[in-house]
Chains A and B, each alone.
Chain A
Amino acid sequence: MTESSVRDKAPATTPSIVEMAERYPEPQEKPTYWRSRTRSLLKHAGLIAFGLVMLYPLLWMIASSFKPDAIIFREPGLWPTDVTLENYTEGWNALLHPFSHYLLNSAIIVAGSLVGNLVACSMAAYAFARLEFRGRGLWFAIMLMSIMLPIHVIIVPQYILFSELNWINTFLPLIVPKLLATDAFFIFLMVQFFRGIPRELDEAARLDGCGHFRIYFRIMLPLSLPALATTAIFTFIWTWNDFFSQLIFLTRPDMYTVPVALRTFIDATSESSWGSLFAMSIVSLIPIFLVFLFGQKYLVKGIATTGIK
């Protein structure tokens, strides 16, 4: 394109201010204060209504747990007309063992899993994030793939292995794998976090003659408290909610955990005693709810950065 042809296409005269204004109109008037105010009110009303619909079954379960069985189904409303604690006392003792027994069993498994995931996974993460060793890329890829491996592929031989060891109906099949860092997801989470810690810190310590264990224990772990908290919180929730493996490895009633015990409510009590079932369901959800209340920051961060469920 020659210079002259460009000039031909250019407007003959420079556009006046008026022409410019016509060509580029002002952005449309912003909605007035009241209009935007109404819009935002409507939005909030919609969001609140939606939230209520979502949480209604939960709220209703809580309300129903304080109602006598006879009126639970006649009242879809929330406010109990006749408050009773009977469901809780009855539900607590409805099964073979008092409910505290199952709570304790669950707590033991959770405690073991917490220790395992916090120690074993952070150790493995340190190796992947900081050490140079042969085949690191390959092992790392294997670790990543093991995160996505469905448990069903290994559960049958695991069951055979643990029954050979006489571990069925003990907590060992549920705790020992965690001590061996099989929840590889948390290794990944901590590798991500460790990578964000400046290398200069531990390299300086290295030059000063500090060993790897001390670097891991005195530098990396103290700096990784958020990642450790996220790990602890998700380990707690997943282990507390876990049903599949607990159902398989714990078949004797005195070894039942909360989820397995809750399930037997359906067989043990008649369908009409929903009240005590609800009461114990709520008891089983309280720990999760507390973790949710106090660990929200880490929950949201954990999901947002690593995409867990």
Chain B
Amino acid sequence: MSVVSELRSVRRPKGKRRPSALHKGDGKAAIFFLGPWFLGLILITAGPMAASAYLSFTDYSLLEAPNWIGLDNYIRMFDDPRLINSLKVTFMYVLISVPLQLAAALALALVLDRGLRGLAIYRSVYYLPSLLGGSVAIALLWRQVFGADGLVNAVLAWFGIEGEGWVSHPDYALGTLMILNIWTFGAPMIIFLAGLRQIPQMYYEAASIDGASKWRQFTSITIPLLTPIIFFNLVLQLINAFQTFTQAYVVSGGTGGPADSTMFYTLYLYQKGFASLDMGYASAMAWLLLAIVAGMTAVNFLVSKYWVFYND
């Protein structure tokens, strides 16, 4: 159903498939149909990947030819307090906002499931922020809503509370971005809704005949059968959240401030590569990012054996 499950099931076909008459000449046709993709794979994806691996061992700065400096960039990264900080900020953001976002998505999906009147309308309303959340316009809106004289403080003033300038306070700025991420729970919610719909109704009927309480049905039927979907959402949202850029860039005006409190890893990478033109270092950072994302996903898959329930 998903990229994740597809990757689980990619296996080498056993034995040689005998080409039938029907598939004669498929090879030539494949060259035609895959031509553009293959060119893109080489020129736009694989080539640049190899180049980026090479550059990560150089001091390339766009203006001068690259000099080989060995592992210097990688060693420098571990001595770079701003990089360490950007990792901290990003992990905080990912590890707090993704679980909360998924919890909200699951909770709403459960409430919206099964024959609720107006389901389609609620679903649309809750989904809309997911579509808009990545845009610059919404990030600008966030900057205002959580600004010193923004909407949040205006509402707080009704209750006689004097609020901070949330986006300009180092303790709270990251929190406003987390709220923005949680606000976009609509997409995982729709995936949960689709998953809930696939649980056969008869399981619940059987359980209630046996006298299982609603809670028991939830913990013993809904949750176990939903674990593949939870897992899928988790993998996807972790990968996405780790690469968040636009929101942090816009809300902080491109600085990652105040006091580097919203300096996401990708934002620091952008600053290094495209503002200071330290492209060798930025390439090394990109490979660390890939290693982290791949590592996170691998750990997820390993741990999934202990909690994800596959019915097949």
Q: Which residues of A contact B (CB under 8 A)?
A: 27, 40, 43-44, 47, 51, 54-58, 60-61, 73-76, 120-121, 123-124, 126-127, 131-134, 136-137, 139-161, 163, 177, 179-182, 184-185, 187-188, 203, 206-207, 212-213, 216, 237, 240-241, 243-244, 247-248, 258-260, 262-263, 265-266, 274, 277-278, 281-282, 284-285, 288, 292, 296, 299-300, 303-309
| Complex contact A47–B111 (CB within 8 A) | yes
Of A76, A155, A284, A307, which contacts B233 at CB under 8 A?
A: A307
| A131, A179, A213, A299: the one within 8 Å of B36 (CB) | A179
- Across the interface, do A243 and B246 meet the contact criterion of CB distance under 8 Å? yes
Chain B residues lying within 8 Å of A306, measured Cβ to Cβ, are: 1-3
CA distance A163 to B131 in the complex (A): 32
Chain A interface helix/strand/loop/mixed: helix
Which residues of B lie under 8 Å from residue A240 when comparing CB positions? Answer: 135
Per the bound structure, the CA–CA distance linking A121 and B250 in Å amounts to 32
Residues of B within 8 A of A182 (CB): 40-41, 44-45
B3 touches A147 (CB 8 A): yes
Chain B interface residue bracket vs A: 35 or more
13 A-B residue pairings within 8 Å (CB atoms): A51-B125, A51-B126, A120-B37, A123-B35, A131-B29, A132-B19, A132-B23, A132-B26, A153-B289, A247-B249, A259-B246, A281-B138, A309-B134
**Binary A-proximity of B1-33 (CB < 8 A = 1, otherwise 0):** 111101100111100010100110011011011
In chain B, positions 107-148 with a C-beta closer than 8 Å to chain A are 111-112, 116-118, 122-132, 134-138, 140-145
Whether B135 and A263, one on each chain, are in contact in the complex, defined by CB atoms closer than 8 angstroms, is no
Interface of chain B, main secondary structure: helix
Checking B36, B145, B236, B250 against A57 with a beta-carbon cut-off of 8 angstroms, the contacting residue is: B145
Q: Which residues of A contact B143 (CB under 8 A)?
A: 266
Give CA–CA (A136, B40) in the complex, Å: 17
Q: Does B226 contact A (CB under 8 A)?
A: no
Whether, in the assembled complex, B240 has its beta carbon less than 8 Å from a beta carbon of chain A, the answer is: yes
Sample of 16 more A-B contacts, CB < 8 Å, known A131-B26, A148-B297: A27-B208, A57-B145, A76-B154, A124-B34, A124-B36, A132-B17, A149-B45, A150-B290, A157-B48, A163-B62, A177-B44, A243-B134, A248-B270, A262-B140, A278-B144, A285-B138
CB-CB under 8 A from A299, the residues of chain B are: 127, 131
Question: How near does chain B come to A141, taking the closest CB pair, in angstroms?
Answer: 5
Across-interface contacts of A207 in B (CB, < 8 A): 22
Is A241 touching B135 in the complex (CB atoms < 8 A)? yes
| Chain B residues within an 8 Å CB radius of A131 | 23, 26-27, 29-30, 33
Contact A57:B62 (CB < 8 A) given known A146-B41, A154-B52: no
Asked if A158 contacts B135 (CB within 8 A), the reply is no
Q: A133-B30, A248-B274 are in contact. Are A154 and B49 (CB under 8 A)?
A: yes
Residue interface mask B212-256, A partner, CB < 8 A = 1: 000000000000000000001100100110010110011001100
Q: In the assembly, what is the distance between CA of A145 and CA of B45, in Å?
A: 11
Q: Which of B4, B6, B39, B131 has the most CB of A within 10 A?
A: B131
Minimum-distance CB pairs A-B, first 10: A180-B40, A304-B194, A157-B51, A281-B137, A157-B48, A76-B154, A127-B33, A154-B48, A124-B37, A133-B30
B273 at the interface (CB under 8 A from A): yes
Inter-subunit contact B23/A150 (CB<8 Å): no
Pairwise interchain contact B187-A51, C-beta atoms closer than 8 A: no
Could you tell me if B154 and A307 are in contact, using CB atoms closer than 8 angstroms?
Answer: no
